[in-house]
Amino acid sequence: MNQFIGNTAQRFTRLIPFKEATRRLSFSFDPDDLDPVLSVAFISLLTIGIIMVASSSISVADRNFSNPFYFLERQLVFVAIGLFAALSVFRIRLVQWEKSGVALLIFALFLLVLVLVPGVGKTVNGSTRWLPLGVFNLQVSELVKLFLVIYVAGYLVRHGEAVRSSLWGFLKPMLMVGMAGLLLLLEPDFGATVVIMGTVLAMTFLAGARFVQFMSFVTMFAGAAMLLVVTSPYRMQRLTSFANPWADPFDSGFQLTQSLIAIGTGGWFGTGLGGSVQKLFYLPESHTDFLFAVLSEELGFVGVSVVILLYAALFFRSLKIASQAERAGNYFAAYMAYGIGIWLSMQAVINIGVNVGLLPTKGLTLPLMSYGGSSLVVCCIAVGLLMRIHYETSNVMKQASKRPSRKSAAKSAGNVSPGIKAGGALL
């Protein structure tokens, strides 16, 4: 089965024009090419995540694997792979990703169908979200998030005017994303569906989609989500337990009540690193979905504030990078930067909201921090793309500033490349 998956992936890879880009791949780069604020936020979140995974998983790892550092060792491997992937992505020109958008969409839909094939996908806790690839399990939804952001960014460049002026132009990407969302719901993965739909809707709105169309689709999506909750017993149970977890603190509300106890115990400065009590077999998934609760208990309000500020820096820097790319005329880069910033920030907000009891429980990790290879590596790739956008935009702006302000320069300014003209103006 692993050979089948690998062969199929190779066939789809041939559709993606990365051969020329990867042939010239070089890993030597100037640190000045990287955005300093984004780099600090990225490395800080990774470092804090490694520390908290080690602290939150030590008891569970010792009990289940007789190795207290089992999860830490694997997380370090994932971090190394993620950094290598981010560096590799940084060396690939953005035009290669723009050309590959449709192929990546097809590959994403293929993976979503493949994971649902009986005997292929791996089921954990009633959800079939993983493809077993031998040494690790690939969570398909993580790749789908990235691929859909790339596809939608390219679509908004190619058909930006149609998105802004016609209903059909707005609906076409929504139909493709809706198809992916339907396949995600069959796993089921409601949390990933919400993140993907929210990100794509935000991207189309920033591209100038009509407000009435945007709000109509938001209302329709919200209504469909509520219908899914009402008609699904386990989702309804999650909603009712979220509203009042203390009504059944030893069953449906157990995970949330333990999370709230951990957060409340932290106080201002926490119990100290490694001093969490709730991670000692009380709080389930303490090193994955509920890592934030253990962080709150051990590092307190001060530690929580630092982490939130780092995510805020990541979000606002993404918007800044997108705005600079927009001014430079690279609308594909701008849309992609907007999408990545919104996606990572939305997922972080949802995870934190679940931990503090503001949102129903969802199986979403804390980006760049929670244990998990698929999520961590894909998030690193996303940050690598942001770095690449900053790099290309900075080079364009530097070259523009060096041009002589003469009539010849003004005349040459009219010779805009077709790729940039296709983007149109943002509304």
pLDDT at 13 over 70: no
| Whole-Å CA distances, 147 to 54, 100, 163, 170, 382 | 31, 9, 20, 19, 10
Distance, CA of 359 to CA of 153 (rounded, Å): 29
CA geometry: angle at 419 spanning 417 and 425, to 5°? 95
Would you state the pLDDT for residue 235? 66
What does the alpha-carbon distance between residue 377 and residue 49 come to, in Å, rounded to a whole number? Answer: 13
Of 249 and 83, the structure prediction assigns the larger pLDDT to 83
Lowest model confidence (mean pLDDT) among 17-21, 191-195, 230-234, 260-264: 17-21
Highest mean pLDDT among 18-27, 53-62, 242-251, 404-413: 53-62
What are the helix (H) ranges across 159-290? 160-165, 167-185, 190-206, 211-231, 233-243, 254-266
**Residue 320's pLDDT band (boundaries 50, 70, 90)?**
very high
> What is the average pLDDT across 165-189?
87
Print burial letters for 64-77: b (CB count within 10 Å at least 16), e (below 16): eeeeeebbbebbee
pLDDT of residue 123: 83
Task: Please report which confidence band the pLDDT of residue 24 belongs to, taking 50, 70 and 90 as the band edges.
Answer: very low
Residues 373 and 78: beta-carbon distance below 8 Å: yes
Rounded average pLDDT over 335-361? 93
Distance separating alpha carbons of residues 347 and 199, to the nearest angstrom? 10
Query: Which segment, 9-23, 212-226, 278-292, 395-409, is predicted with the most confidence on average?
Result: 278-292
Q: 140 to each of 124, 168, 387, how far by Cα in Å?
A: 14, 29, 24
pLDDT (average), residues 4-26:
48
Confidence at residue 21, expressed as pLDDT on a 0 to 100 scale:
45
Q: What is the pLDDT of residues 329-341, one digit of tens each?
A: 999 999 999 999 9
* Beta carbons within 8 Å of 425's beta carbon, 6+ residues apart: none
> pLDDT tens digits, residue range 54-96?
999 998 899 889 999 999 999 999 999 999 999 999 999 999 9
Residue carrying structure tokens 């990933």: 192
Q: Distances from the Cα of 290 to the Cαs of 33, 180, 293, 368, in angstroms?
A: 35, 27, 5, 14
Q: With 0-12 CB in 10 A as exposed, 13-18 as middle and 19+ as buried, what is 177?
A: buried
